[in-house]
């Protein structure tokens, strides 16, 4: 199973980063069609929405565009919702790997859900954390 981090979702709509935008769009399109399931982690979706709300306030995107993009994601991927056990996994990952809180919670959700590949630019590419391999799609 695959998952994507917030940065991939943001780059899909970020016209100010055309190279990363193209790669992010191609990645999501490919993942949506792949035989291996890709899911959206609740944390990544919530962080994406927080970013889009800031962009709305700055005039970079409209609320309608944000909502349309969320509906598109809903149609493409299933969500993985948080459960209490993710925090225990996150605490363990944070102490063993010296990860930030957000990164350890994200990885904890991946470990708990059985995700094998996380696409992100925020963690060390080609590193595996408790069975979750990190791939930087923008490298």
Residue range 11-64, pLDDT digits in tens: 999 999 999 999 999 999 999 999 999 999 999 999 999 999 999 999 999 999
Q: Is residue 84 within 8 Å of residue 22, measured between CB atoms?
A: no
CATH number where 21 lies: 3.40.50.1010
pLDDT in tens, 75-98: 999 999 999 999 999 999 999 999
Domain count, the chain: 1
Q: Is residue 103 within 8 Å of residue 89, measured between CB atoms?
A: no
Q: Is residue 134 within 8 Å of residue 127, measured between CB atoms?
A: yes
In the predicted model, is pLDDT for residue 125 greater than 90? Answer: no
This prediction has a pTM of: 0.94
The boundaries of the domain holding residue 104 are 2-135
């Amino acid at each position: 199973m695959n998952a994507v981090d917030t940065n991939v979702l943001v780059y899909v709509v970020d016209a100010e980063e055309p190279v990363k935008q193209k790669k992010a769009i191609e990645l999501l399109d490919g993942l949506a069609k792949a035989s291996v399931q890709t899911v959206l982690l609740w944390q990544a979706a919530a962080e994406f929405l927080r970013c889009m709300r800031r962009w709305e306030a700055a005039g970079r995107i409209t609320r309608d565009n944000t909502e349309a993009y969320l509906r598109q994601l809903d149609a493409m991927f299933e969500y993985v919702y948080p459960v209490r056990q993710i925090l225990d996994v996150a605490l363990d990952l944070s102490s063993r790997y010296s990860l930030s809180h957000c990164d350890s919670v994200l990885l904890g959700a991946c470990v708990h859900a059985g995700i094998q590949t996380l696409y992100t630019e925020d963690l060390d590419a080609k590193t595996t954390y408790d069975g979750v391999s990190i791939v930087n799609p923008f490298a």
